[in-house]
Amino acid sequence: MANRKKKLGKSKARPRAADYTSPARLEKIFAGLDQLFPQAQCALRHENAFQLLVATILSAQCTDERVNKVTPELFAKYPAAEDFAALPQSVLEQEIRSTGFFRNKAKNLIGAAKKIVSDFRGQVPRTMEEMLTLPGVARKTANVVLGTAFGLPTGVVVDTHVFRIARRLKLSKQKTPEKVEQNLIKLVPEDRWISFGHQVIWFGRKICHARRPLCPDCPLEPICDSPDKTV
């Protein structure tokens, strides 16, 4: 029995569940993200809120790189909501075909543009409630536009990267983006909601990859005990 107690005493203590969201651990996460991406910004190229809305809708199930190849010519032809609202769906489908799911995206883009023109005088609305009335817009898209275009912290963007990393770092055990966001809103200070989303997205792209995270290069490695770790 004595030998057994000695062996157990040498085992590495794992954090209690409550420790994963302790203020001290959260500060280490914020500091690590600040170290890696102090000036993190949205990767989607845009010149105004409507263009960002279009690009964000196009980015569903598509890479930002692909979207950024499509949008310059698209916005040169159709710069405003009024232009999109007047487009036949078949025409827009061909313009955005390479982004995938182009039929549904074209339908939503035209529907959103028409509603912006008819209900909001051609301007992208600035509240979550109004944004969610636009076709093709859920909380992720609304948070991207409201945070990036207007600087309004309405929530935390939860895309595939943020969803994965929040669970890896045990900031949430939830299984839907909406519920993960609600957990993050409680843990992340409001003045970090916008920057935190951008930072974690870049963190997921550059370091915390889905299949093989670059743990030796990660400043968060000492406080992460994910089973996906590569060290």
Which residues have a catalytic role annotated? 140, 159
In sequence order, the 6+-apart residues with CB closer than 8 A to the CB of 200 are 33, 161, 162, 165, 166
81 sits in which H/E element: helix 81-85
In sequence order, the 6+-apart residues with CB closer than 8 A to the CB of 145 are 49, 52, 53, 56, 124, 131
**Residue the block writes with tokens 């839907």:** 176
Query: How many other CB atoms sit within 10 Å of the CB of residue 35?
Result: 10
Backbone angles phi, psi at 106, to 5 degrees: -65, -45
Query: How many other CB atoms sit within 10 Å of the CB of residue 72?
Result: 10
**Residue the block writes with tokens 């190849």:** 69
How far apart (Å, rounded) are the C-alpha atoms in residues 166 and 183?
9
How far apart (Å, rounded) are the C-alpha atoms in residues 185 and 187?
6
In sequence order, the 6+-apart residues with CB closer than 8 A to the CB of 191 are 153
Cβ contact 57:98 at 8 Å: no
